[in-house]
């Protein structure tokens, strides 16, 4: 069992080392290709730009895989899903809100205005 784990770690380290060698070789090849066209400083800038582009691309891919670009559901979507999942609890909450509104309509108006108010703060 431990031998398998050590072999897996060694294999992962070998793949990582090979990937590092590949990236360095590709960077040097790009530098050699661009050196005559734009000079040594320009070729170094092209290699740095290519590395930055690679990092940004990998970052976006990993962020998408992690679910960073999923939007949060809006209030009405959350309420609709809650009512579908738990209709009895939603009915009890609506009844309780009706009782509170019947006894004290000012509370209902304060809640309604808080939902209608813009996100930036108070209305002008």
> What does the domain layout of the chain look like in residue ranges?
1-70, 75-116
Low-confidence ranges of the chain (pLDDT < 70): 118-124
Residue 122, pLDDT score: 55
Per-residue pLDDT tens over the stretch 87-123: 898 888 888 888 888 888 888 788 777 777 766 655 5
pLDDT at 73: 78
Identify whether the C-beta of residue 30 lies closer than 8 Å to the C-beta of residue 51.
no
Determine the pLDDT at residue 34.
92
The whole-number pLDDT of residue 27 equals 92
Give the whole-angstrom CA distance, residue 95 versus residue 81.
Answer: 18
Dist CA 18 CA 70 (whole Å): 34
What is this structure's pTM?
0.50
Q: Which residue has the tokens 């019947």?
A: 102
pLDDT computed for residue 2 by the predictor = 86
């Amino acid at each position: 069992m431990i031998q398998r784990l050590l072999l897996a770690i060694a294999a992962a380290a070998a793949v990582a080392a090979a990937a590092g060698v590949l990236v360095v070789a590709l960077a040097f090849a790009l530098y050699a290709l661009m050196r005559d066209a734009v000079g040594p400083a320009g070729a170094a800038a092209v290699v740095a730009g290519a590395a930055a582009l690679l990092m940004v691309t990998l970052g976006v891919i990993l962020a998408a895989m992690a679910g960073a670009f999923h939007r949060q559901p809006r209030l009405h979507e959350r309420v609709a899903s809650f009512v579908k999942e738990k209709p009895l609890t939603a009915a009890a909450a609506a009844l309780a809100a009706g009782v509170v509104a019947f006894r004290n309509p000012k509370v209902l108006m304060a809640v309604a205005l808080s939902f209608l108010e813009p996100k930036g703060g108070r209305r002008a």
